[in-house]
Structure 1
Amino acid sequence: MKRIHIIIYILCFCVASLAKLHAAEQHTAKSLEVALVKINNQTTDSIQTRETHEKLVVALQEKQQAFEIRVYVLAGILLLLVLVFGVLCFLNKRGDKRLEKIVSLLEKNSSQQKDSGEKNAKIDEAIVAAILENLQAFEKERGFLMSKITLYEFAKQLQTNTKYLSRVINTHKLKSFRNYINDLRVQYSIQKLENNASYRKYTIKAMAKEAGFTTAESFTKAFQKKTGETVSSFLRQTNELLSE
């Protein structure tokens, strides 16, 4: 930014210099023209007068040439400074963008560190024990068969918060809340397929609905993720084993 201010100052100085140079040249040229007019108006055609006339003409031409050279030089410097000014403005703009990007990355990193610190904060052992006990009761009572259970609603039901509940499931069940629920539902379906002949006659959509899944697609994906087999393949193998 300081360099840009210097460039602006130099530009102003060059413009002022051009203006002063033009004014001085105009004054000198006018003086020489007045002198020429006086000589031309003199009736005496002496050698001295002619020499003086010629000297004034030559001086006027030299002044004009010197003025033009100075104008060209200053104009060139002015154009160069304008170009440098434009380049500096462009670089300054890029620098601002880079600075904004760096600040954004630093803020993001600070936010991530803060979140990481909150996640790693230790939960009271009594709270962990209470949540695990509630999870055991939840599994026993098959609360996972509710189709629209969410982490927020489940935490509210267990009288805890979502952070604690999610942390306990991640640490003690080694899975996310969604995978925890889906695995319980799939395990329920496996037990039904192995022990209930009527259930084996259900459509996949009906199996999904009974297990708590909202769609047959989510059921088949969760089933294959846990067992490594499709529902149809598992059902066929189960029927073959039971028929032997």
Structure 2
Amino acid sequence: MIKTIFVLLLTLFSFRSIAQNPYYDSIYRVTAQELIASDPKQALKNVEQLSSISTNRAEQLKSLLLKAALLRTYGINNEALDILFKTDSIAHLEKDYVSITRINGLIATIYRESQLNAAATIYFKKTKEAIEKIENENLKNRFRGSIEQESAQIELKKENYLKTIKHINQSNEYFLLAGETADIPFHLSSNYGQIGTVYLLLDEIDSTFFYLNRALNELTKAQAANSPKKGFIYTGLAEAYIKIDSLELAEDYLHKSKSIAEKSNYFELKKETYFKLSNFYKKTGDHDKFIQSNEQYLKLINDDQEEKKRISNLLIESLYEKEQNSITKQRSSSKKITLLTSSVFLLIILLGWYIYSKRQSKKKFLAYIENKNNYENKAKDPSPEKPTAAPETKSKSYMSEEKETEILKKLLEIEKTNFYLDENISLSTLSGKLGVNQRYLTHVIKTHKKSDFSSYINALRINYIVDCIKSDPKFLMYKISYLAELCGFASHSRFSINFKKVTGTTPSAFIAYVKNENEKIN
């Protein structure tokens, strides 16, 4: 009949005074009050859903606490404590003393149930300290009332009955100051029922009846009037009637309790009721009913142990499955991030290369224009251009200096005839026209034009068409393919490639440049 601080603190979660999200609160209430006991796997799903729909830090903390409470209920204490310690860190950062109170209260309960009394005492003290830092006086008094109930339970186990009653009375005083939304009758009913139990242990039967009936009366006014708590009050009354040998009334109350227990399927009430029925029929000598009640009790205990194992395994599997899904999701996310990072890095490299390439092309184009202008200025100079003498060391290996100068002069002269506009021009054709050896001609082109034969011809063609575009406006109107044909290229693509190679820009961009320059002049 005595509830732990865990149950009392958990009850505080659903007070209407702090409800702000009706959808959240409805799922929370069903999960906390029904599903933890009846459908733990669904309860775990609901807890995860609560986490996902939380709209503020307080709701997130409540969800985590509920999950810890669920795991603790089925003996998965290590995982429950892990959650509580993480939650405690968050609550302290937020200075959320309400959550800190609940967290420390639940930790204290887990340690006490595990017989780690020293640790339980430490966290019980932390719970009290956190309560005093809560600003809301109504909420503070509810927690104080719960703490006094827990203190009463500790004293009851020590058989300090007067101290037990003192703590319960103090608890009642706090609950009466807790505000209308605290479901005061429910808490008073719990406390009067506990006082009745103490007087029963003291064999003060009149006081037992007084407080148990008072507990029933308060319960009828509570929000949870049909709570299984009524069954515990009935078993207390049954024991009191047994004490005064009113066995018929005792049996009647035990059966009332059994009806509530089986209807609610509340394990603790069923266990207490079956045990007391078994003892009752043993006392009255009803052998058949004793065997029946005792078998029910033993089966209940055995089934409960098996069910707890099953549910614990089920919850652990669910937790493991969620953890694996989380890991898989993280790995997938990591791959996506890596891919995205690589893509961005590659894009930056490509963008950098593109910008660099554009700048280099622009530099090359400007240099080309400057060289072209310089060449045109030299062309206006009446003094004839003299062929450049070949380097002495290299000339000797091929021909005499006089021969090399002669070939270069012939080459410069034939350039004036635009021979290169013939798309079929070749090294053998040109050497034939000049009347020189192909090897000698190749050497002269390489030495003085810094190029191989094909590049030399292509450069002449491009320079020719550039001069045409700059000097004759009608060339600005021609298609690129036609310009390619005019200067001896067999295809549009090869013309464009060589144009950019020589000038640093495309034919279209060069035409646009010339148009712009013409507009400036005009």
TM, length-normalised to structure 2: 0.24
Q: Which has the larger radius of gyration?
A: 2
Higher relative contact order (CA 8 A, sep 6+): 1
